[in-house]
A and B are shown apart, each in its own frame.
Chain A
Amino acid sequence: MNSLKSQGFAPVVSDLKKDGSTWTVKEKIMLGLSPKEYWAVQLRNPFNWLLWAIYAIGLPILVGRFIFGLGWVTHSSYDYPWGLFLGWGLFVMVPLSASGFMMGTTVELFGRKDFKPIERLGLLNGLLGYTFAVMFLQVDLGQPWRLIYPMFVSLGPAAVLFLVAWHVATYLSCQVAELVPAFSEWMGFPKAKKFIKSIVLGLTVAGIILSTLHQGALGALFTYAPGKVHPLWYSSPFQWLHFFVSAVFAGLSMLIVVSTLTKWFMRWRCDENYLNNLSKLTLGLAKGASLALITYLVIKIIGIAHDNNWAYLLTGWGAWFMFEMVVGVILPLIFYTMAVRNSNASLARFAAFMAVFGLALNRLNTALISFNWQLYQELPHWREVVIVVTVYATYIVVYRAVLARMPILYTWKEKK
């Protein structure tokens, strides 16, 4: 598409075509190309070939999971009831999607209108991340069709997971609402947008509350298993705080990562306003992320001191823990700080990739790698890996499809 645009192709950015007639929804979906052109573009893209390969292998296995049960795709371990589906799909996806509530807070609550160009990307990253976290959950649940049981059929309100379920569900609807403006512009329903505008403050405050609680709750889930998680990744009084604070830098860093990817691969869809502001905004996000990182580092150290876990640092687990901290926290912190000081957006982007990696490593370490450290290590079944890759590929496909169409990276031109 980038090359198409350089040849003079103009993507849809308003209700009206150049000649004054309006785009139909079908044309909007086809990005303003004729069907023939559209499919030709799809076929030319080598990334799509990769996706087809993933689906060719992944879809049959995904279907198989629902026919043959979890035992067919996972190691069906009694000692490791949670595997990659939750380790990756829930514990990594959710903090990386914290950008939604943070952009809402920055723009709507703190009135930082200068972050507007990137606000919708932050909201979309949040919405899709949560949606797919629920997808992963659906693959993992023994009886996915009972997903609503904790909401309406049989309530266990004293359980932390109950909190996660309720909060993720309400927060999802919050996020859908926050993205209604983009959708309504694209579809041409101005009323919906107006309505959301009138309640946006309430939505944002709700978003903050729900996010604080469910991001923290994901950490609190592990406090049910003292002794099963290695002490370096476990701290009963601080676990929720560790998860919450790391979600802050993770969400901001992920937003830098996706904005960088759009700049590289979807430049045709970005407008001047977005592209010209991106470096400045990246540095703004970097500043926020570095503050969260330093906070995280300090409370991490407090956590170790509080439980007096210093001795563990000298073991093999300690070396692995130090690797996570240095590569995933300390180095990104240093790079972010340097980037902000020298106004070097490229360095901030590099730091963001590291911080995202560090977050993922932390959650996988807590949920899988250091879990049952006194028993034995468990490697995920290859089918489990294939399914995770397939669902994640779908996440990317949907992400890309929305970005290509709705006014996220560009501003919709309203009728005069």
Chain B
Amino acid sequence: MKKLNRRSFLKGGLAGGAAIAAVGTSKQAVAGTHNFGGYPDSMGVLVDLTKCVGCRTCEAACNKEQALPTPDKPFDDPSVFEERREGGLPRRTTEKAYTVVQKYDVPGREHPLFRKVQCNHCNEPACLTSCFVNAYKKTPEGAVIYDKTVCVGCRTCMIACPFYIPAYSYSSAINPVVKKCIMCYDTRLKFGRPPACVEACPQEVMTFGKRKDLLKLAHQRISEKPDKYVDQVYGENEVGGTAWLYMSDVPFDKIGYDNHLGTQPIISYVKEFLAMVPMVLTIWPALFTGFHLLSNRKDALKNDDNKS
């Protein structure tokens, strides 16, 4: 549990920093390159993009399950696929939609490819590690949930999420909160039931199960049909692994997935700085008080010179 080490070590370091009584905070070393692999029995969802027909049933199911406001266009209206937000990008998750289906016309492919987007429930989520009030929690079941009663609204989690998932209810003046998929934690996952969107899908695009089993299943399917699938399970290693996993017959970078995210969890990029914190806390006081003594000594010597 090196991860816990790092967290508790920081707690010590920072409390020391606050009190400026910074002695002996560097006892525990910063965790090395070890990544938190997620809870061993956490659940996940395997999405087979080749099966999705873009019916948007999952969107409707999520809307109902999460009691979200009725959208402007009904869920059977395919014209939403042509909607473009700024920069010519397809529509994304918003405060009113925790999941959206996007359409990609891939040259050479017979039918367009549809892609369901929602929070990927990372093993070591960037949103969680960046939040300074601990509003996020990764549950042992695998969901990344959010506590709206402590959120201050700094929106660092939105900066940090590599998948651009959290949305924010900017329109609310008194209680704006982060809005994102919570894997139906309160109503279903907690009781071992699959998320609403998974259950509602008529094409059985999504498989709910233990993450480690889903990975096995995915690789098995790929090796059975190597001509059909690209040899990558997106989410297996990306940013340290995610609970939602994807299989595709089109290279992932052609259909809106970022293949440059790397395999390190986002927190590891912050590590250099976090490692430096206890150093500064312990070394600086001695160093600068030393400088002060030295400069005073110079003065003293000067005065002696003047006297003699």
Contact = CB atoms under 8 A, between A and B. Distances in A.
Residue of A77, A141, A153, A205 ringed by the most chain B CB atoms within 10 A: A205
A213 interface: yes
Given A147-B152, A209-B284, A78 B164 contact: yes
Nearest to B175: A143
Contact of B155 (A142, A205, A240): A142
Given A78-B167, A79-B164, A224 B134 contact: no
A142 B164 contact: no
A149 B152 contact: yes
B171 A69 contact: yes
Contact of B176 (A70, A78, A105, A163): A70
Contacts of B29: none
14 contacts: A69-B176, A76-B170, A78-B94, A79-B164, A156-B134, A157-B15, A158-B267, A160-B132, A161-B156, A170-B20, A213-B17, A223-B273, A226-B266, A240-B273
A238 B167 CA distance: 30
B159 interface: yes
A81 interface: yes
Interface string B87-103: 11100111000000000
A237 B274 CA distance: 11
Given A82-B155, A212-B280, A226-B269, A376 B89 contact: yes
A33 B14 CA distance: 49
Interface string B226-257: 00000000000000000000000000000000
A87 B89 CA distance: 24
A146 interface: yes
Given A170-B18, A205-B289, A159 B131 contact: yes
Interface in B152-205: 152-156, 158-160, 162, 164, 166-168, 170-173, 175-177
B249 to A, nearest CB: 25
Contacts of B160: 224-225
B72 interface: no
Size bracket, chain B contacts: 35 or more
B153 A146 contact: yes
Contacts of B280: 209, 212-213
Contacts of A156: 131-135
Contact of A236 (B170, B269, B281): B269
A259 to B, nearest CB: 24
B86 interface: yes
Interface in B268-282: 269-270, 272-274, 276-277, 280-281
Contacts of B272: 223, 236-237, 240
Nearest to B286: A205
A interface secondary structure, majority: helix
A388 interface: no
A201 B290 CA distance: 12
B70 interface: no
Interface in A190-243: 201-202, 204-206, 208-210, 212-213, 216-217, 219-221, 223-228, 236-237, 239-240
A150 B133 contact: yes
Contacts of A213: 17, 277, 280-281
B298 interface: yes
A350 interface: no
B261 interface: yes
A110 B292 CA distance: 5
Given A111-B292, A213-B277, A375-B89, A143 B17 contact: no
A212 B262 CA distance: 30
A111 B296 contact: yes
Interface string A267-287: 000000000000000000000
Given A227-B258, A240-B276, 11 more contacts: A78-B93, A79-B164, A111-B292, A146-B150, A146-B151, A158-B10, A158-B129, A160-B273, A205-B284, A210-B17, A225-B162
A167 interface: yes
Nearest to B258: A227
B151 A143 contact: yes
A71 B43 CA distance: 36
Interface string B13-46: 0110110101000000000000000000000000
Contact of B270 (A78, A155, A160, A210): A160
Size bracket, chain A contacts: 35 or more
A376 B281 CA distance: 40
Given A109-B292, A160-B270, A375 B261 contact: no
Contacts of B15: 157
A27 interface: no
Contacts of A375: 87, 89
A220 B155 contact: no
Interface in A117-171: 140-144, 146-147, 149-150, 153-167, 170
Contacts of B89: 375-376
Contacts of A37: none
A142 B156 contact: no
B7 interface: yes
A384 B17 CA distance: 35
Contacts of A66: 173
B152 A71 contact: no
B126 to A, nearest CB: 6
A67 interface: yes
B173 A223 contact: no
Given A143-B175, A158-B10, A71 B170 contact: yes
Given A71-B171, A224-B130, A167 B153 contact: no
A378 interface: yes
B270 A223 contact: yes
A81 B155 contact: yes
A157 B296 contact: no
Nearest to B148: A143
Contacts of B166: 78
A109 B295 contact: yes
A1 B180 CA distance: 57
B132 A150 contact: yes
Interface string B111-131: 000000000000000100111
A69 B173 contact: yes
Contact of A105 (B14, B168, B270, B288): B288
Contacts of B2: none
Contacts of B64: none
B225 interface: no
B210 interface: no
